[in-house]
């Protein structure tokens, strides 16, 4: 696969020229009913409304040219087929395939990457058997009672996606089942999560691809100590998800072990065993398959070359238009769904760890902007917090709204003529219009400039299948952008330096540094912070 510099594409020049006079949503006729119905893309249970972006048909044509010139669909197809895309040419790098899509390519015959999908099927079968044994009573605690809680111990990609999906879907939990999560090495995290838990009815799911992450190993030890102190056998209360052959791959220490492959990046691993063991425990195996089905449908639909008919590709290109051409530094993802309250946190990692890069796939410094700052919180809560800046601040923040026509629990009440779900959705649509149209007023404090780009992604209800689809839409929007910017979205060298320095400081604290020699700077930091 040949990747070219972003700046080398002819469409980039065209888009830069078009960006000198972007579409004015506030002008007479700038946002019409016809525009709203024309600028809509549907697929896999989702509708994307993008009339409130500052685009014209000419901009969309140029974005299509960019997608074609950059070979975005070819790159995505190569990724699904197992091309070694996690690499930097001519330099030491992870040098791996990128095959999270194979985890859900378990419905088609043949799948795009047969070997990887066969491994995914094998792990799914292990999971099915494990869940059946829990349900039938073949796996119970020492007193013969069923397990009710699973605590996932993991951090980063081994926490954020699984936690976001659990919170999104816990409305569908099996009777009496729930999950909790421990990520931070902050001992208060463990203390708080374990407080009030009946350890005898709890399974701990230790998740670490490398099997060597400081935080996770430390928290596993804390958890083991608590289990032993409660008079219980850790080998009956701990399961593991890790890479085959990792330091955690030890059948004697765990009730059951599941594997993930090195070609599944941590932040893309929610649909591997990293996410599915805990989700399966809480939701059951059928729901797991629904999540995978939703993701797989989007994986297939994302092969469509027409940007106007491909939701993740269009979202990627609208993001590039806003970031590289209109110059907006951040993007807010604002779900009008309390269940998605941790989804922006997952996207922060998935997007910023993937596309927060400054060198090209050929190891050269980039000469264009790569990933934006991604942030967000659920609406309507955010409206009572940071929306002031979004409407009237000097920083223009493109917004991606996410909403659902129906609630998960279906518990609603009409108050003042409307239900709560209707109030939620009316607010989302109102925000979209207000940001786009703005408002003139004689009082400058009450003026809204408008022309604040946004889009709405809406589906009927947040089900396991729709959640799988939503996850995949964002995974691919991120990957398409990375391909377009000619960066490697699948490594994370930027997190290494801090880890190395933290290890040195810990050596110093533990008194091990003398032999290796410590710097005055490190000593001083510890002393001035009052840590030593
Ligand atoms: C994600 C990153 C990172 C990783 C964590 C946990 O893409 O690689 O967030 O997931 O550092 O790593 P382990 O699963 O190896 O413990």
Choice from 100, 156, 349, 350 to test ligand 1 binding pocket (greatest atom count within 8 A of CB): 156
- Who wins on pLDDT, 515 or 191? 191
- How far apart are the CA of 39 and the centre of ligand 1, in A? 38
The closest alpha carbon to 275, from 184, 385, 164, belongs to 164
What percentage of the chain reaches a pLDDT higher than 70?
Answer: 99
CA distances from residue 231 to 53, 392, 435 in whole angstroms, order as listed: 60, 59, 59
From the CB of 468, is ligand 1 less than 6 Å away?
Answer: no
In ligand 1, the atom with minimum distance to the C-alpha of 207 is: 14
Q: What is the DSSP letter of 304?
A: -
* pLDDT surpasses 60 at 515: no
- Residue 384 annotated among the catalytic residues of the structure: yes
Q: Which position among 215, 261, 297, 353 bears the catalytic label?
A: 353
Q: Tell me the sheet residues that pair with 300.
A: none
Whether residue 508 is predicted with pLDDT greater than 90 in this model: the reply is: no
Q: Return the HEC string of 391-411.
A: HHCCCCCCEEEEEECCCCCCC
What number does the ligand 1 atom closest to the CA of 210 have? 15
Q: Quick check: CB of 477 below 6 Å from ligand 1?
A: no
Residue 8 has pLDDT above 90, yes or no: yes
User: Smallest Cα–Cα separation from 50: which of 387, 450, 318, 424?
Assistant: 318
Q: Is 153 exposed, middle or buried (0-12, 13-18, 19+ CB in 10 A)?
A: buried
pLDDT tens, residue by residue, 418-436: 999 999 999 999 999 999 9
What is the three-class DSSP state of 455? strand
> Are the beta carbons of 279 and 166 closer than 8 angstroms?
yes
- Ligand 1 centre to CA of 212 (Å) is 10
CB of 488 shorter than 6 A to ligand 1 = no
Bond into 110 cis (ω within 30) = yes
Q: Which of 399, 391, 318 is nearest to 55 (CA)?
A: 318
Could you tell me which residue, 516 or 201, shows the higher pLDDT?
A: 201
pLDDT above 60: residue 291: yes
Please state, as a whole number, how many other Cβ atoms lie within 10 Å of the Cβ of residue 83. 17
The per-residue pLDDT for range 317-361, each reduced to its tens digit, is: 999 999 999 999 999 999 999 999 999 999 999 999 999 999 999
Residue nearest to atom 16 of ligand 1 (CA): 208
Residue 145 gets which letter from DSSP? P
- State how far the Cα of 344 lies from the Cα of 160, in Å rounded to an integer: 10
List pLDDT tens digits, range 362-404.
999 999 999 999 999 999 999 999 999 999 999 999 999 999 9
Local structure of 374: helix, strand or coil: strand
Is any atom of ligand 1 closer than 6 Å to the C-beta of 267? yes
Neighbours of 430 (CB within 10 A): 12
Q: Using a 6 Å cutoff on CB, does residue 491 contact ligand 1? A: no
151-178 tens-digit pLDDT: 999 999 999 999 999 999 999 999 999 9
Any ligand 1 atom below 6 A from CB of 156: yes
Confirm whether 9 is a catalytic residue: no
**Do residues 120 and 272 make contact, with C-beta atoms less than 8 angstroms apart?**
yes
Tokens of 47: 């509708």
Average pLDDT in the chain? 96
Instruction: Give the per-residue pLDDT at 523.
Output: 87
C-alpha 306 – ligand 1 centre gap (Å): 34
Q: For residue 47, list its beta bridge partners.
A: 42, 458
Which tens digit of pLDDT belongs to each residue from 216-251? 999 999 999 999 999 999 999 999 999 999 999 999
Is residue 514 over pLDDT 80?
no
The finding on whether 100 has its CB within 6 A of some atom of ligand 1 is no
User: Are the C-beta atoms of residues 207 and 216 closer than 8 Å to each other?
Assistant: yes
Interatomic CA distance for residues 324 and 316, integer angstroms: 12
- Grouping H, G, I as helix, E, B as strand and the rest as coil, residue 331 is strand
- Choose the weakest-confidence range: 8-17, 49-58, 166-175, 494-503: 494-503
Express each pLDDT in 123-149 by its tens digit: 999 999 999 999 999 999 999 999 999
Determine how β-strand 454-459 pairs with β-strand 46-49.
antiparallel
Q: How far is the centre of ligand 1, averaged over its atoms, from the C-alpha of 222 (Å)?
A: 20
Q: How many whole angstroms separate alpha carbon 335 and alpha carbon 378?
A: 5
User: d(Cα 322, Cα 331) in Å, to the nearest integer?
Assistant: 9
Q: What is the pLDDT of residue 124?
A: 98
Which pLDDT value is given to residue 511? 82
Sorting pLDDT into bands at 50, 70 and 90, what band is 10? very high
Q: How far is the CA of 265 from the centre of ligand 1 (A)?
A: 8
Query: Is residue 517 over pLDDT 70?
Result: no
Pocket test for ligand 1, best of 100, 210, 266 (most atoms within 8 A of CB): 266
Residue 296 annotated as catalytic: no
Rounded to a whole number of angstroms, the distance between the first and last alpha carbons of the chain is: 52
pTM of the model: 0.97
* Ligand 1 neighbour 159 (Cβ under 6 A): no
Closest CA to 490 of 79, 215, 68: 79
> What is the Å distance from ligand 1's center to 30 Cα?
45
* Residue 265 CB less than 6 A away from ligand 1: yes
Banded model confidence at residue 532, pLDDT cuts 50, 70, 90: confident
* Lowest mean pLDDT, pick from 105-114, 264-273, 522-531: 522-531
413-417: average pLDDT: 94
């Amino acid at each position: 696969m040949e990747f070219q510099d972003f700046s080398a594409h002819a469409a980039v020049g065209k888009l830069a020229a078009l960006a000198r006079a972007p579409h004015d949503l506030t002008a007479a006729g700038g946002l019409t009913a016809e525009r709203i119905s024309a600028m809509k893309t549907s697929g896999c249970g989702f509708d994307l409304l993008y009339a409130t972006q500052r685009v014209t048909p000419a901009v969309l044509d140029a974005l299509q040219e960019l997608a074609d010139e950059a070979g975005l669909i070819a790159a995505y197809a190569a990724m699904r087929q197992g091309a070694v895309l996690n690499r930097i040419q001519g330099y030491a790098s992870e040098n791996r395939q990128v095959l999270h899509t194979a985890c859900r390519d378990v419905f088609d015959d043949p799948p795009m990457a047969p070997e990887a999908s066969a491994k995914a099927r094998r792990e799914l079968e292990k999971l099915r058997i494990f869940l059946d044994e829990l349900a039938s009573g073949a796996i119970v605690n020492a007193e013969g009672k069923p397990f009710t809680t699973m605590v996932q111990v993991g951090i980063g990609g081994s926490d954020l996606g699984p936690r976001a999906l659990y919170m999104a879907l816990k409305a569908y939990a099996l009777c009496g089942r729930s999950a909790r999560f421990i990520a931070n090495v902050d001992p208060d995290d463990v203390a708080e999560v374990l407080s009030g838990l009946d350890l005898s009815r709890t399974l701990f799911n230790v998740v670490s691809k490398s099997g060597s992450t400081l935080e996770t190993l430390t928290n596993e030890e804390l958890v083991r100590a608590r289990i032993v102190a409660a008079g219980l056998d850790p080998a009956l209360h701990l399961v593991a998800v890790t890479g085959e052959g990792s330091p955690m791959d030890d059948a004697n220490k765990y009730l059951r072990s599941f594997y993930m492959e090195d070609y599944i990046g941590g932040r893309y691993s929610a649909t591997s065993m990293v996410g599915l063991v805990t989700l399966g425990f809480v939701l059951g195996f059928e729901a797991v398959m629904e999540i995978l089905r939703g993701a797989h449908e989007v994986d297939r639909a994302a092969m469509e070359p027409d940007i106007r008919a491909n939701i993740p590709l269009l979202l990627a290109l609208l993001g590039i238009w806003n970031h590289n051409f209109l110059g907006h530094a951040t993007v807010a993802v604002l779900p009008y769904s309390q269940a998605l309250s941790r989804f922006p946190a997952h996207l922060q990692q998935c997007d910023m760890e993937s596309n927060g890069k400054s060198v090209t796939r050929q190891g050269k410094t980039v000469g264009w902007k790569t990933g934006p700052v991604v942030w967000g919180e659920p609406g309507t809560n955010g409206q009572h917090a940071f929306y002031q800046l979004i409407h009237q601040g000097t920083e223009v923040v493109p917004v991606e709204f996410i909403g659902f026509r129906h609630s998960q629990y279906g518990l609603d009440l009409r108050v003042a003529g409307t239900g709560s779900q209707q109030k939620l959705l009316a607010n989302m649509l109102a925000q979209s219009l207000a940001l786009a149209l703005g408002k003139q007023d004689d009082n400058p404090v009450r003026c809204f400039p408008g022309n604040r780009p946004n889009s709405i992604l809406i589906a009927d209800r947040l089900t396991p299948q729709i959640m799988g689809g939503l996850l995949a839409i964002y995974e691919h929007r991120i990957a398409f952008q990375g391909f377009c910017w000619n960066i490697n979205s699948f490594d994370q060298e930027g997190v290494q330096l801090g880890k190395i320095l933290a290890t040195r400081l810990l050596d110093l604290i533990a008194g091990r540094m003398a032999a290796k020699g410590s710097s005055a700077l490190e000593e001083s930091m510890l002393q001035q912070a009052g840590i030593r």
